Structure 1
Amino acid sequence: MKITAAFLGLAAAIASVQAAPATSGLAAAPLVQPKTYTLPVKVNPQFSRSAKASVWKTANKYQKYVQSKKTSVLASTGSVNMTDVQNDVEYYGIVKVGTPPQSFKLDFDTGSSDLWFASTLCSSTCSGKTKYDSSKSSTYKKDGRSWSITYGDGSTSSGILATDTVNLGGFSIKSQTIELAKKISSSFSSDPIDGLLGLAFDSITTVSGVKTPVDNLISQKLISQPQFGVFLGKESNGGGGEYVFGGYDSTKFKGKLTTVPVDNSQGFWGITVSSTTINSKSASSSFSAIIDTGTTLLLFTNSVAAKVAAAYGATDNGDGTYAISCDASSLSPLSFKINGATFSIPAEDLIFENDGGSCIAGFGYASLPFAILGDVFIKNNYVVFQQTSSPSVQIASIE
C-alpha cells in the first residue's frame, strides 16, 4: 500500500506512502547463511511531509472498506548512509531489470502487490525518470496485456505487461512479469522514484494471475526461507535501512522475535492488536491492523484514534490528523500488545511534524475498519514477513 506523509500538500500520491532517495555505499560483511541477501534502502531528501495527505491517501486507497524462534540469521552487511531531510518519510531500494541490467529506484510496499516502473513507452509524464528500454534487454519478452492503476486520490499509472529477468537483492528472478508504464500522473512525475515494488500477496495484483517477485523467489527456489526481514532506520539514529530476502538480520533488533498469525484474506499482511496502553493505562481494546511499509503514519480506526488522542490530550484537526504537544517529555510511549508481547513507540516518534511550535501527531485516522501500522511502528520494531501457506509475521523491538 503506498502512503506518504507530508503536512502541507499532496506531494506524492502513489496510493499511500512513497519511497525515498539517498545514496551511499555498503560495507561488506560475510553472510552467515547462504541464499540470503541484504538489500539497502534509501531515503528521499526532497519529499515533502504531510500527515493530512497521508491520511487522505490511505482513506482513498482503502475506500471500499470505509464506514519465536529465529529460523534464519544474517550477519550485518552494513548500513546505507541516509540523507533524510524529511525525517523518515519514505524509503526506496534499487532493483535491476533486464540483461544487461537496468537499475531503478522502487518504493518497497508491503501494502500492494504490483511491480511497475517508467519505460521508454512513457510520455513526457515520465520526464526525469529512469526508463526501462526493452530494446536493450536480451531477456525481454512481450506480453501485450494492458494494466491500469487508479488510486483514490486520482493518481494513475498505466501501460503494458512484459516479462524479463529481475535482480532483487542479488537473486536473478527469471521471466518475472513487469508492468511498463506508458503514462503516469503528475504526483508520480514529481516523485523521485521510478516505480513501485509490491510485497503484499498476489491476490491483489492489478492483473489477475500475475505472480509477485516474492512468489517467484520462492517458486524458483532462489531463497532458503520464504521470508523477508525489514529494518527501517531513523534519521535520529543515523538513518539507513535494509530488506533481507530469504532471512533476516538479527543484529538489527533486541530480544526474541514474536510470531504473529497473519490474515491475508484481503491480500494484506493483516494481524490482530490485542490492546494499546499509554502510561500503563488502557487506551483501546482489540482491533485489526495491516503492517504496511508504504504508509508513513500510524492510522487507527476512528474510534481507537479518538481514544488514543484523548489519552495524549491531542486535538482533532478534522482532516484525519491530530495536533499534539511538541514537548516529547510530556508524552508517554504508546504500547501495543500483540500475541502476548509488547511493542512500543517512543514519545519522540509520536510527534510527526513540528511547524513553528505547532505539532502534528504521528498517528491519525482514515475512516477504515482496520488500522494501518506504518513506518512510525516499523522503524521501532523489526518485522519478518513469512509468506508460507499459513502466513505470519515475526516482530521484535529494535530498541
Structure 2
Amino acid sequence: MKTAACIAAIMVAAISVQAIPVNEDGWTVPLHDNPSYIPNATHQVLRTWHKYKKFALSDKIGHISVGTIPFIDDGMDLEYYAFITIGTPGQTFKLVFDTGSSDLWFPYTGCKSTCTDKTLYDPKKSTTYKKDGRPWSLRYGDGSESSGILALDTFDLGGLKIKSQTIDMADTISPQFMQSVIDGILGLAFNTLTTVPGIKTPVDNLLSQKLISNPTFGVWLGKKSHGGGGEYVFGGYNRAKVGGTLTTVAVDNSQGWYAINIKDVSSKGKTLTGSFSGVLDTGTTFLLFPQKVADKIAARFKAKDNGDGTYTINCNASKLADMQLSIAGAKFKVPAADLIYDTNTDGTCIAGFGYANFPFAVLGDVFLKNNYVIFNPTVPQVQIAPLAGI
C-alpha cells in the first residue's frame, strides 16, 4: 500500500505517447521533466517518511515529530510523468511512474468538488469498461487521502494495450492532490502492495497477457543539465543509455519493493559506512539513508544537520567529491554536483542526500538519474550500470 503520494506539478501541452521499439526488444514510454519544479527539501524527506512510515524506528525525524507536522504534498516533488490512455476510445491522463507503489489510480466523473480542473475518467464513454465496485482507499499520515471504487478497462501503456486492467477510480482526493496538475499514479512495485489484495498490477498483466516477451523494464531519468526528459522501456532496455557493464543485483521483494543490499558508501577511496539495505524508488527524489549512515556521510562532506532530515552542504561542487555506492561488487557514482540539491534564499545549499528513521535507505532519483536500472520482477532482480553520457 502506498503510504505517501507526491505528484509533480508540470505545465506542458498534453500529447499522446506511442510505444517505440528499441534495440533490446522493448517498448518505450517517454517521460517529461518539470520546467516549473520548485525544490523543497524538508517536504521531500517528510513525503518519503510517510510512504515508508510503518517501518520507522520512531515518530520523529531529527527534531520534527512526523506524526504532528503536516505533510505538505505541493505537487512539485517529482520531475517526471508520462501520458497514458484508459478505455476505448482512449482517455488521456498524466501519471507519475512509481516503483515504490503498486496501485494505478486517477479521478473519475464520480469525483465532484474535490476534482476541479482534473482530467476525469468517464466510464460511460468507454466501450471496454467493466464494473467492479469494490472500495479502495489510500490514507496518509497527515490525513490526506484518495479513495473510490475499483473497475476494469483497457489500459494503453504507450501502445501496449492491457485488457481488463484493474483501475482505482478516485471519487475523493485531498487538497494536496487537488493542487497538482498530475492526474494520478502508476505503481510499478510488486502486487503485495496493492490496496485491495489480489489485484493484478499493470506489470503483472503485461506478462500474463504476453504483451512483452522479456519480463523487464528499463528506466532512464534525465537530468536538467543534460536536457531533462527520460523514458521507461517495457519488455527490454535502451542499450544506448547504458554507459558501462550491467551488474546483476538480487532483489528482496518481501515488503513489495525493489530492495537491494549496499555494501558501503565511499568517497575518494575512503569507506564511509558499513552495509545496509536500500529501496530503488523512482517516486522519491532524495537519496535518503538511515540517520547513523547519513551522519557518517555528512561528516565526510562537512554537511550540517538541519534537524529535519536534511543537511546544509557547501554550494561549491568543486570543493566536494563524488559519492560511490558499492553494490554487488561494483561501484555506482553520484557526482559531486548532484550532492547539492537546492540553494536557499540566504545563499546556503541543501544536500541531495538526507535521512529518515528507517532501518533501510531509499535510493531515489538522486541515485537513479546517474545510473540506468533494468527491473526484473520475475527473478526478482535488477541490473544497474552507469548512465551513458553523464
Does the alignment reach a TM-score above 0.5? yes
Native 8 Å contact 2:8 2:76 kept in 1: no
Change (3 A) 1:173 1:354: same
Using the TM superposition, give the Cα deviation of residue 45 of structure 1 relative to its aligned residue in structure 2, in angstroms. 3.2
State the match for 1:212 in structure 2: 201
Note the 1:340-379 alignment, pairs <5 A.
Answer: 340-356=329-345, 357-379=347-369
State the match for 1:144 in structure 2: 133
Using the TM superposition, give the Cα deviation of residue 27 of structure 1 relative to its aligned residue in structure 2, in angstroms. 11
State the match for 2:186 in structure 1: 197
Deviation larger for 155-164 or 51-60: 51-60
Distance of 1:320 and 1:287 partners within structure 2? 18
Native 8 Å contact 1:119 1:133 kept in 2: yes
User: In the alignment, which of 254, 259, 268 is matched to residue 270 of structure 1?
Assistant: 259
Native 8 Å contact 1:229 1:382 kept in 2: yes
Are positions 1:113 and 2:102 aligned together? yes
Local SS of the residue matching 2:198: coil
State the match for 1:44 in structure 2: 34
Are positions 1:172 and 2:168 aligned together? no
Distance of 2:20 and 2:27 partners within structure 1? 11
Local SS of the residue matching 2:225: helix
Distance of 2:382 and 2:21 partners within structure 1? 26
Using the TM superposition, give the Cα deviation of residue 20 of structure 1 relative to its aligned residue in structure 2, in angstroms. 5.1
Distance of 2:337 and 2:108 partners within structure 1? 41
Using the TM superposition, give the Cα deviation of residue 88 of structure 1 relative to its aligned residue in structure 2, in angstroms. 8.8
Native 8 Å contact 1:88 1:235 kept in 2: no
Native 8 Å contact 1:332 1:347 kept in 2: yes
Distance of 1:280 and 1:302 partners within structure 2? 22
User: In the alignment, which of 371, 380, 387 is matched to residue 370 of structure 2?
Assistant: 380
State the match for 2:23 in structure 1: 32
Native 8 Å contact 1:18 1:91 kept in 2: no
Local SS of the residue matching 2:283: coil
State the match for 2:45 in structure 1: 55
Are positions 1:320 and 2:309 aligned together? yes
State the match for 1:244 in structure 2: 233
Native 8 Å contact 1:19 1:43 kept in 2: no
Native 8 Å contact 2:39 2:77 kept in 1: no
Native 8 Å contact 1:96 1:167 kept in 2: yes
State the match for 1:103 in structure 2: 92
- The alignment's TM-score, normalised by the length of structure 1, stands at 0.88
Note the 1:214-229 alignment, pairs <5 A.
Answer: 214-229=203-218
Counterpart amino acid of residue 23 in structure 2:
V
Distance of 1:301 and 1:355 partners within structure 2? 24
Segments of structure 2 that go 5 or more residues without pairing to the other structure are 58-74
Distance of 2:93 and 2:328 partners within structure 1? 38
Counterpart amino acid of residue 366 in structure 1:
A
Segments of structure 1 that go 5 or more residues without pairing to the other structure are 3-13, 68-85
Deviations 1:316-371 (A, max 9, x none): 00000000000000000000000001100000100000123110000001111110
Change (3 A) 1:325 1:380: same
Note the 1:12-91 alignment, pairs <5 A.
Answer: 15-19=4-8, 21=10, 22=12, 31-32=22-23, 34=25, 36-67=26-57, 89-91=78-80
Using the TM superposition, give the Cα deviation of residue 263 of structure 1 relative to its aligned residue in structure 2, in angstroms. 0.1
| Count of residue correspondences | 368
Change (3 A) 1:108 1:20: farther
- The alignment's TM-score, normalised by the length of structure 2, stands at 0.90
State the match for 1:256 in structure 2: 245
State the match for 1:296 in structure 2: 285
The alignment-based identity, stated in percent, is 57
State the match for 1:335 in structure 2: 324
Native 8 Å contact 1:92 1:107 kept in 2: yes
Using the TM superposition, give the Cα deviation of residue 16 of structure 1 relative to its aligned residue in structure 2, in angstroms. 4.6
Deviation larger for 292-301 or 24-33: 24-33
Native 8 Å contact 1:109 1:293 kept in 2: yes
Distance of 2:189 and 2:262 partners within structure 1? 19
